[in-house]
Amino acid sequence: MHPADAERLVHELRVHQIELEMQNEELKRAQSEIAESREKYVDLYDFAPVAYFSFDRNGVITEANLTGASLVGIERAYLIGKPFSLFVSPEHKDIFYTHHRKAHKDGSGECEFLIQRKDGSLVHVSMRSVGTSDEKGNVTIRSAVTDVTELKSLESQLIQAQKMEAIGTLSGGIAHDFNNILTVIMGVGSLIQMKVGPDSPLRRYIDQIVDASHHAAGLTQRLLAYSHKQPIVLSPHQVNGVVAISAKLLNRLLPEDVELTVDSADDHAVAMLDVAEIDQVLMNLATNARDAMPHGGSLTIRTDVAELDETFKKTHGFGRPGTYVHLSISDTGTGMDEKTIARIFDPFFTTKEVGKGTGLGLASVYGIVKQHEGYITVTSGLLRGTTFDIYLPLVEMKEHATAAAEVKGGSETILVLEDDPAVRDIITKILSDQGYTTLEAANGDDAIMAFNEHKGTIGLVILDVVMPGQNGREVFDEIARIDPGVKAIFMSGYSGDMVIDKGVQEKSVDFLQKPLSVPNLLAKVREVLDR
């Protein structure tokens, strides 16, 4: 062979070798990219937030990702070859079978059911499936399964909140009707009291009627407080007296095997309270205590005066040093662990079974205590009972005590707008007996007409806020156009938020909450007229 030909051949072989090496490098790089891509795919598949399963036509698991294994609480290796129905809650197996058949027949489907994990816990899931067949007729059902337990819990909480809102609306309507009835009973009773001397044999019966009507008025306020429809109004009260009255209601709430004890240490301790709200606090805590003592026990309410210092603040992380009225509510129930204690005041948190607790009771308690500028702590332990300690700022009664205002009448003309004839009649009677000239109106048109006819002589207008047709605020606006200086008192048997909806802000106008007591009505009338 000619040397030049040999050299050319060697060169060609070298070029060919280089090309092979380059192709080999390309092949290795492609294989590496494929492996990397496959690894990424496997990671995406295994660690996806959604559980993926593949089944054969009989519902046997042929493939699953790690999320799916975690969902049922079993290692993936033990899942393959097992019927998925093993992990479906017994009462929901039919749902899964129907869904699986539908995906096989129609090619797709969606359903919700409960999965029972290996540890016995239940998980609410949503399953979406697609069925395919190959040319040999082999069926594969691929399913994406999402844990919707938390979503279902939120839906349940929303439904519960809507129920509470409906109860609140119903309570407001009931309270309105009762407050109108009680206004008549209280008014007539008070008028008789004024006319019957203290030595009359009928006096004690009349006093009982008036006292009972006041107690009934308190019940309507508690009804509104239960539905959180009544604005909080603080006034000075002896705490022991409030607790004593609440204890009578609690005795009806507690079963016979739960003993209620009230231990009051200071009969003169006074705090600024909304009595209906404090009743609600005690009611909620007593209900929780009752449920924690299914086999009986004891519930103890103690009151005393306590000093909060810097040590209290360092221990609990809150608390302004000072003197407080201390309410302690203790039970001998099952108690709570630290994890539960950390969450008991969270809205919608409950340890009770679904449908047996709203998760709002203790959240409401916490909110009410904070509105009273107080503090609440809890001490508990499993099988050691639970104690709630409530601290409310102590006040000096003499700072708030006022002498009973002398009931004064007058000679001014007052227009009364009230759609309930019985209530309208008793209000005008009370005012007439005190020397006032009264005009009556059953609706907005009559009120505006009467005001026009007696323009310049009417010193005061008393208006019911919620009425058919024009409400009290709208009537007042019409009257104010006739006489911008007109004085007015608004009244209502509805809850505070209903009144606000009608354009009456209680703090910005003169307002009386029904049922009306005679002294309060006459005092407010005189106060407004004398400005």
Q: How confident is the model at residue 38 (pLDDT cuts 50, 70, 90)?
A: low
| pLDDT computed for residue 365 by the predictor | 86
- Which of 90, 151, 147 has the alpha carbon at shortest distance from 116? 90
Q: List, in sequence order, the alpha helices (H) in 47-148.
A: 66-72, 76-79, 93-106
Q: Is the pLDDT of residue 179 over 80?
A: yes
Beta-carbon contacts of 293 under 8 Å, excluding residues fewer than 6 positions away, are 257, 258, 299, 331, 332, 333, 334
Q: Which tens digits make up the pLDDT trace of 4-16? A: 776 777 667 777 7
- Which of 495, 491, 496 has the alpha carbon at shortest distance from 512? 491
The answer to whether the CB of 510 falls within 8 A of the CB of 529 is no
| pLDDT computed for residue 514 by the predictor | 83
Quick check: helix, strand or coil at residue 380?
A: strand
Residue with tokens 């004024």: 194
Pairing state between β 235-238 and 270-273: antiparallel
| pLDDT computed for residue 356 by the predictor | 47
- Which of 516, 515, 520, 495 has the alpha carbon at shortest distance from 506? 495
| pLDDT computed for residue 503 by the predictor | 54
Q: Which tens digits make up the pLDDT trace of 467-500? A: 888 888 899 999 999 999 899 999 887 755 455 4
Q: Which amino acid is at 50?
A: V
Lowest mean pLDDT of 178-182, 430-434, 444-448, 486-490, name the range: 178-182
Q: Is the pLDDT of residue 357 over 80?
A: no
Q: At 214, list the tokens.
A: 């006041």
Query: Distance between CA 106 and CA 139 in Å, rounded?
Result: 12
* Proportion of the chain above pLDDT 70, given as a percent: 83
Query: Distance between CA 448 and CA 479 in Å, rounded?
Result: 6
Specify the length of the chain in residues. 531
| pLDDT computed for residue 222 by the predictor | 59
Residue with tokens 């929303």: 158
Can you tell me the mean pLDDT for 412-423?
93
- Which of 382, 381, 384, 388 has the alpha carbon at shortest distance from 361? 388
Can you tell me the mean pLDDT for 84-112?
89
Q: Is the pLDDT of residue 414 over 90?
A: yes
| pLDDT computed for residue 297 by the predictor | 94
- Which of 288, 289, 321, 290 has the alpha carbon at shortest distance from 306? 321
- Average pLDDT for the chain: 82
Beta-carbon contacts of 526 under 8 Å, excluding residues fewer than 6 positions away, are 408, 410
Query: Distance between CA 205 and CA 189 in Å, rounded?
Result: 10
| pLDDT computed for residue 504 by the predictor | 57
The answer to whether the CB of 230 falls within 8 A of the CB of 217 is no
| pLDDT computed for residue 1 by the predictor | 60
0.75 cut: is pTM over it? no
Please classify residue 267 by burial: count the beta carbons closer than 10 Å to its beta carbon, then call 0-12 exposed, 13-18 middle and 19+ buried: exposed
CB atoms under 10 Å from CB of 263, counted, come to 11
Query: Distance between CA 510 and CA 186 in Å, rounded?
Result: 21
Quick check: helix, strand or coil at residue 415?
A: strand
Q: Is the pLDDT of residue 247 over 60?
A: yes
Lowest mean pLDDT of 298-307, 338-347, 373-382, name the range: 338-347
- Which of 179, 219, 168 has the alpha carbon at shortest distance from 492? 179
Higher pLDDT, 214 or 337: 337
| pLDDT computed for residue 260 by the predictor | 93
Cα 233–Cα 238–Cα 241 angle in degrees, nearest 5 = 105
| pLDDT computed for residue 528 by the predictor | 92
Q: Where are the beta strands (DSSP E) in 227-269?
A: 235-238, 258-264
Higher pLDDT, 83 or 233: 83
| pLDDT computed for residue 379 by the predictor | 93
- Which of 236, 232, 243 has the alpha carbon at shortest distance from 394? 236
437: which strand partners? 413
